[in-house]
Amino acid sequence: MKMKKMTKRLLAWFGVAIGALVLSGTVLAHHGDAGRYIEDVVTVQGTVLELQFINPHSIIVFDVTDPSGKNVRWQAELGGPQQLQKQFGWTMTTLKPGDKITLIGRRVKSGAPYLNLTERANLVLTDTGKELFRTANFGQPTPIQTQQ
């Protein structure tokens, strides 16, 4: 009888350990953006195709006309819908297909057409100049990189 109890306890502890490892991997994976984006901000103008008002990060899908006249599909990542609603009063219709927008944010290092708008970022309706989004640290200089 003692052996059954010990085996059950050992299996229970093993299950808890596996669960903790799985959950810690998920948390680390979500916040593993260090070094993913360039430090300098870039300015991009485009036309909204879609606002994906989803968790954990809302996404703006928009087209940008490159210097050769070709449309390039971009995405910009913001905070979640609850944050956008609470801080900026956004709804699912704040950005509509066809809206012309100017975004300032950090581009992904790979050069892909993807912007991060979670820090030092700004979003304005191009035609009216109406600001829809500004992070608290917008306009602050690029942080100094330290050598390790």
Whichever domain contains 60, its CATH number is: 2.40.50.140
Q: Check residue 27 and give its pLDDT.
A: 46
State the residue range of the domain holding 108: 37-134
Query: Do residues 88 and 120 both lie within one domain?
Result: yes
Q: Are residues 127 and 67 in the same domain?
A: yes
Residue 141 lies in a domain: no
Higher pLDDT, 25 or 63: 63
- The two beta strands, 71-77 and 114-116, are parallel
Domain count of the chain? 2
Do both 65 and 81 map to the same domain?
Answer: yes
89 located within any domain: yes
Predicted confidence (pLDDT) per residue in 122-148, tens digit? 999 999 999 999 998 888 877 765 454
143 domain-assigned: no
- Residue 15: per-residue pLDDT: 52
pTM (whole model) above 0.85: no
pLDDT, average across residues 74-93: 94
Torsion region of 69: left, alpha or beta (phi above 0 gives left; psi -120 to 50 gives alpha): left
- Using the predicted structure, report yes or no on whether residue 44 has a pLDDT greater than 60: yes
